[in-house]
Amino acid sequence: MSTERRVPLAFPLTGQEELDEIAEVLRSGRLTQGPKVAEFEGAVAERVGVAHAFATSSCTTAMHLSLAAMDIGPGDEVLVPDFTFPATANVVVQQGATPVLVDVELDTYNVDPDELARHLTPRTRAIMPVHLFGLSADMDPVLAFAREHGLRVVEDAACALGSNYRGRACGSMGDVGCFSFHPRKVITTGEGGMVVTDDDELAARIALLRSHGGVRRAGRFTFERAGFNYRLSDVHAAMGVVQMRRLDSLVARRRELATGLRERLAGVPGITPPAVPEWDGHVYQAFVALVDEAVERDAVIAGLRDRGVETTLGTYALHAEPFFAELTGARPGALPASHAAARRTLALPLYPSMGDGELDLVADALGEALAATATAPPSEAPA
């Protein structure tokens, strides 16, 4: 068997247009935050339908900036879904506040609105719904809960640029929304992020904190808070400007490929394609399927690797990771749906330049790998 990788998990789509825009920035000599950042921010704000957008060095820094602008800190608790990339909870810890991990729904992989109430305390200040893999969380009950209890809402829309929920854009529904432009996301600037908001007061604080806490008054900077340098460079924003022009076609292509994968998976036993809730809007930043309880997911990943197809786990159950296990005192499995998702999710290749041949290869290899693990003797005796 060949270990040569024939189908990668992801591959960003960029071209001559990005190179031309970057060249223009280099020739201008203005490399840090400048006109290209402003243009990129304008394009995202318009697309998402919000008043303010601030480009940042990543989604992680966008989320940290948001919590800092809300003065969330020591003594405060923030509700975070347990099944997410650790950055969502890390930024809460960076602010000296406490992330409180909430279980998810095993079908959408997003926060379970019914689980929020039992984690509410007098210290709860905010909730960070995640639109995992490009599918919106069920936001109506989340927003109603936040309103009822006076909580801030910070959307982790890292995966969800272009996605929507019942006619509203992901990122536009909370007090702030945060996007990522990492190469595995819907559009990319290499590294990069953005925070968007309709709240003028928050916007002013975000702008201040993004750049050292300094404001220009009478020709010089005065420093009003201990800020960060979380700016994006114009070199990166030049890519973003072009990528925003591609957004509609990138999303359309991702949806087409997801349909193609669904069709091919229909006849494959042992695996369930991602759910389509009534609000849909999915942009398939990742196509994450669920293997059956009895299937050894990591053996399937290894089997696919042997067949030239790169796959990976969906994401992490934070309560079972060492740092958060110690912080929260949770035992593995305390949040059962998240725990199951962490063990059973499989992210399949999906990227815009993928063709029918690759879709066939993925489905065939998956069928073989699942069949091989189903017939393999158990690797250890059951407990």
Ligand X SMILES: *Cc1c(COP(=O)(O)O)cnc(C)c1O
Interface segment toward ligand X; rule CB under 6 A; list 79-87, 169-177, 329-337, 362-370: 79-87
Q: Is residue 185 annotated as a catalytic residue, yes or no?
A: yes
Rounded-to-integer distance, Cα 248 and Cα 340, Å: 34
Active-site position among 182, 185, 253, 344: 185
Contacts 24+ apart (CB under 8 A), 138-144: 138/105, 138/108, 138/110, 138/111, 138/113, 138/165, 138/277, 138/279, 139/165, 139/166, 139/168, 139/173, 140/166, 141/113, 141/114, 142/111, 142/113, 142/116, 143/173, 143/174
Helix (H) or strand (E) holding 312, with range, is: strand 312-313
Q: Does position 345 bind ligand X by CB under 6 A?
A: no
Alpha carbon distances (Å) from 345 to 201, 337, 350: 40, 11, 15
Which one among 22, 43, 44, 60 touches ligand X, defined by CB under 6 A? 60
Q: Which is nearer to ligand X, 87 or 244 (CB)?
A: 87
Among 180, 189, 243, 345, binds ligand X (CB under 6 A): 180
State the distance between the two ends of the chain, measured CA to CA, in whole angstroms. 33
Q: Which of 72, 60, 139, 118 is nearest to 99 (CA)?
A: 72
User: How big is the site for ligand X, counted in residues (CB under 6 A)?
Assistant: 15
* Choices 151-159, 231-239, 240-248, 275-283; region in contact with ligand X by CB under 6 A: 151-159
Strand 345-348 to strand 312-313: parallel, antiparallel, or no bridges (unpaired)? antiparallel
Contact with ligand X (CB under 6 A) among 40, 54, 83, 85: 85
Binding mask 19-58 for ligand X (x = CB under 6 A): ---------------------------------------x
Does the footprint of ligand X cover residue 59 (CB under 6 A)? Answer: yes
Binding letters toward ligand X, positions 184-223, x by CB under 6 A? ---------x------------------------------
Residues in contact with ligand X by CB under 6 A are 58-60, 84-85, 87-88, 130, 132, 156, 158-159, 180, 182, 193
Q: Which amino acids are annotated catalytic?
A: 185
